[in-house]
Structure 1
Amino acid sequence: MRNTGGDQVQEAVASCVALLRTATDRDWEGVKAGRMSWSCRGTAFHVAEDLIAYAGQLAGRARDRWVPFEIVPEEGIDNDGVLEVIETSGALFAATLRSTPREVRAFHPYPFRSANREGFAAMGIAEVLLHTHDIAEGLGLSYEAPAELCESVLTTLFPDVRPGPAPWPTLLWATGRGDLPGRAPVTQWRWHNNLALPTDRLTLEGVTPATAADLHAGGDGGFEWVDGEPFEGTRVASGMLVKAYEEGLLRPEFGVFVLVRREDGRAVGAMGFHAAPDDEGMVEIGYDLVEGGRGHGYATEALRALSAWALARDDVRRIIAKVDQGNLPSQGVVTRAGFEKVGEDEELFVYELRG
């Protein structure tokens, strides 16, 4: 899988600097950046602030707040100097991303109070691309961000946004900066970093549309799997997630979670919901483990955690699981997790857990 990381951050920064360097002789302080209240100069320096702040969060492994520091421009700095700060901040952030282990998460408020390195990378890329657009609009310049970078941002941070005709206008629309035919204007928006649920031995890592597409296509999703690759059920579930995303129906917290061992960062299986809760508050859950992850109680541990998380919500009242009648190990999993058998057909037993 091609991870969103340091190379992509530096590509975004290069795109920004290449455009703005053509206008360093202009007045950036006296001109507002597009629809923003900030000046073009203030917005440009804000890009550098974001990049260095994200680097600080990851490098410092921030747990519950923003690391309390800021950067301040040198007195008398000109527009070329501002671009130099953006380039340097981008390089520091890229280096941090390259040296940060995949499983590390650090504080970010939206929406689950943490983000992984791909999430931080995507946020940094978005800040660069979108604010370059704002500055360009203020200065009367033409700018179109690289489509592949925009797609990475959308499939990482906007899982509930149905893809549009092209990534760049879709990203502008999703952040209240443009219009898309047939869609209402966006007036409020937030990043949507993936959910991660810790257990004693595992982390259940929410799968983004970007990761799901790679898994469905036969990739590893950016994970190191105990058996070298995921079980087939994980690929099928990932395909269902991609389909929901493409149709604009995805609620990512009710998607797929990869089960990652905390002791070594290796993936042992996946678990997730077939869809969001229905009108009666019912969701169906499913799971699979690679062969090397079986027999250790991982599925039971994960099922207890994910079920507890779901039933703590106001929109979930009961969870069902359907298990093949011949699958005794899986029947043991749901039973140990507190599910009760409530029905059956010729092939399946139906189990239920209520809040």
Structure 2
Amino acid sequence: MRSMDGEQVTKAVTGAVAALRAGGDQDWSEVIAGRLEWTCLRTAEHLTGALCGYAGQLTARARDARVPLYTTLRDGVDHEGILQSIETAAVLLATVIAATPREVRGFHPLPFRSANREGFAAMAVTEIVLHTHDMAEGLGIAYEPEAELCEDVLTRLFPHVRPGPDHWRTLLWATGRGDLPGHAPVTSWRWSNNLVIPTERLTLQGITPAAAMDLRQGGSGGFEWLDGSPYEGTRDAAGMLVKAYESGVHRPEWGMFALVRSEDGRAVGAIGFHGTPDEEERAEIGYDLVEGARGHGYATEALCALADWAMTGDGGEDDATYGFGFGAKHSVKELLATVERTNIPSQRVVERAGFAQVGEGQGTYAYALRP
């Protein structure tokens, strides 16, 4: 699996600056940036501020609010100074990302209030390529980022967008900047960092389509696994997630989570939903652990946390607050679990989590949890 890190940020800004040099003969304070209401100068200032802000969030490890760090370009800055500022901000962020441990998270409001270094790298690349497109469109110059950068962004920040044959065109459409054959125009959008749910000893870390693809193909998904690799059921579930993503029906809050042990950052298993809730607001849940993690109560702890999350309706910030027109709130009225009759330990897990047996199948018991 390709990593999303500071190198990707540097690659994105190198291509952006190279393209924008062709616009040096125009007044950026007068030219409107594509479909935006901002001038190219204001767009460049926003981009510089976003990159510096992301570096500040990771450096401060802020969890509850944005760090009050603001940057502006000085009055009268020339074309070369604008490009130098963008490049400097990107290098600053790339350096911070390289020095930040994987488990560190910083605040970001949408949609689940936090992101790790990979998330901030992906957001930075998105800011760079999209706003470079905006400025290039206004200035009348050619620009197209590398396809791999666009694919990496889509599979990490846009899990709800069905992938298309052209990653750049898909990203432009998904962010309201272009048309895609067979798709309605996008008028409001957001990206989606992975959801993370903390417990006493674990963090349930949402698995992105990029990580799921890697797991399905026999990789680690970017996690350090306790026994060296995940249980086979985790790879099967990752394959289901990839199919949902490729069909355009995957929703990250109803997806799959790695169980990462807080004491050492190692993944000990996976848990997740078999799909989005049905019309009766019911969802089915499943889980597994690597052999070396069994018998320590991790499955029960994770199941209790995920069940509580699913029933409380706390899905993150309400996007309507930020002008997106749709929310991340959620809830279910019933959670279901199917356990093999011979799997006594798993039966004990669901029972300890409050599930009650409600039926039987061929070789299985059906359990349900209601508020």
Equivalent residue, structure 1, for 2:345: 329
Report if aligned partners of 2:22, 2:141 keep a CA contact under 8 Å in 1: no
Distance 1:144 1:74 in 2: 29
Please report how far the alpha carbon of residue 74 of structure 1 lies from its aligned counterpart in structure 2 after TM superposition. Answer: 3.2
Equivalent residue, structure 2, for 1:318: 334
Distance 1:282 1:23 in 2: 54
Equivalent residue, structure 1, for 2:147: 147
Equivalent residue, structure 2, for 1:28: 28
Alignment partner of 2:159: what SS? coil
Amino acid of the structure 2 residue aligned with 1:318: E
Structure 1 residue ranges without an equivalent (≥5): none
Amino acid of the structure 2 residue aligned with 1:229: S
Distance 1:96 1:223 in 2: 21
Report if aligned partners of 2:202, 2:302 keep a CA contact under 8 Å in 1: yes
Please report how far the alpha carbon of residue 23 of structure 1 lies from its aligned counterpart in structure 2 after TM superposition. Answer: 2.1
Alignment partner of 1:56: what SS? helix
Equivalent residue, structure 1, for 2:364: 348
Give CA-to-partner distance per residue, 1:146-181, whole Å, 9 cap, x none: 111011111111111111221000000000000011
Report if aligned partners of 2:152, 2:210 keep a CA contact under 8 Å in 1: yes
Equivalent residue, structure 2, for 1:230: 230
Amino acid of the structure 2 residue aligned with 1:342: V
Task: Select between 168-177 and 139-148 the one with higher mean Cα deviation.
Answer: 139-148
Equivalent residue, structure 2, for 1:273: 273
Work out whether 1:100 is the aligned partner of 2:100.
Answer: yes
Equivalent residue, structure 2, for 1:40: 40
Distance 1:346 1:191 in 2: 42
Equivalent residue, structure 1, for 2:316: none
Equivalent residue, structure 1, for 2:156: 156
Task: Select between 22-31 and 134-143 the one with higher mean Cα deviation.
Answer: 22-31
Distance 2:168 2:127 in 1: 13
Work out whether 1:213 is the aligned partner of 2:191.
Answer: no
Report if aligned partners of 2:257, 2:272 keep a CA contact under 8 Å in 1: yes
Alignment partner of 2:66: what SS? coil
Distance 2:363 2:29 in 1: 70
Report if aligned partners of 1:64, 1:107 keep a CA contact under 8 Å in 2: yes
Please report how far the alpha carbon of residue 315 of structure 1 lies from its aligned counterpart in structure 2 after TM superposition. Answer: 4.1
Alignment partner of 1:143: what SS? coil
Distance 1:346 1:186 in 2: 46
Aligned positions, number? 355
Equivalent residue, structure 1, for 2:318: none
Report if aligned partners of 1:41, 1:79 keep a CA contact under 8 Å in 2: no
Q: What is the correspondence of 1:149-188 to structure 2 with a 5 Å cutoff? A: 149-188=149-188
Structure 2 residue ranges without an equivalent (≥5): 314-329
Equivalent residue, structure 1, for 2:307: 307
Amino acid of the structure 2 residue aligned with 1:341: Q
Distance 1:290 1:163 in 2: 31
Give CA-to-partner distance per residue, 1:113-146, whole Å, 9 cap, x none: 1112111111100000000000110011111111
Equivalent residue, structure 2, for 1:109: 109
Q: What is the correspondence of 1:84-99 to structure 2 with a 5 Å cutoff? A: 84-99=84-99
Distance 1:339 1:72 in 2: 55
Give CA-to-partner distance per residue, 1:264-304, whole Å, 9 cap, x none: 11100000000111111111110000011111100000000
Give CA-to-partner distance per residue, 1:216-240, whole Å, 9 cap, x none: 1111111111111111111110110
Please report how far the alpha carbon of residue 2 of structure 1 lies from its aligned counterpart in structure 2 after TM superposition. Answer: 1.9
Amino acid of the structure 1 residue aligned with 2:141: L
Distance 1:125 1:312 in 2: 34
Alignment partner of 1:123: what SS? helix
Please report how far the alpha carbon of residue 64 of structure 1 lies from its aligned counterpart in structure 2 after TM superposition. Answer: 1.1
Distance 2:72 2:83 in 1: 14
Work out whether 1:338 is the aligned partner of 2:354.
Answer: yes
Please report how far the alpha carbon of residue 13 of structure 1 lies from its aligned counterpart in structure 2 after TM superposition. Answer: 0.2
CA RMSD across the alignment = 1.0
Report if aligned partners of 2:159, 2:245 keep a CA contact under 8 Å in 1: yes
Equivalent residue, structure 2, for 1:260: 260
Distance 1:82 1:230 in 2: 47
Equivalent residue, structure 2, for 1:59: 59
Distance 2:38 2:282 in 1: 46
Report if aligned partners of 2:45, 2:72 keep a CA contact under 8 Å in 1: no
TM-score, with structure 2 as normaliser: 0.94
Report if aligned partners of 1:226, 1:290 keep a CA contact under 8 Å in 2: yes
Give 4+ residue runs of structure 1 displaced > 3 Å after superposition. none
Q: What is the correspondence of 1:278-293 to structure 2 with a 5 Å cutoff? A: 278-293=278-293
Report if aligned partners of 1:224, 1:266 keep a CA contact under 8 Å in 2: yes
TM-score, with structure 1 as normaliser: 0.98
Alignment partner of 1:180: what SS? coil
Alignment partner of 1:229: what SS? coil
Please report how far the alpha carbon of residue 98 of structure 1 lies from its aligned counterpart in structure 2 after TM superposition. Answer: 1.0
Amino acid of the structure 1 residue aligned with 2:55: A
Amino acid of the structure 1 residue aligned with 2:124: G
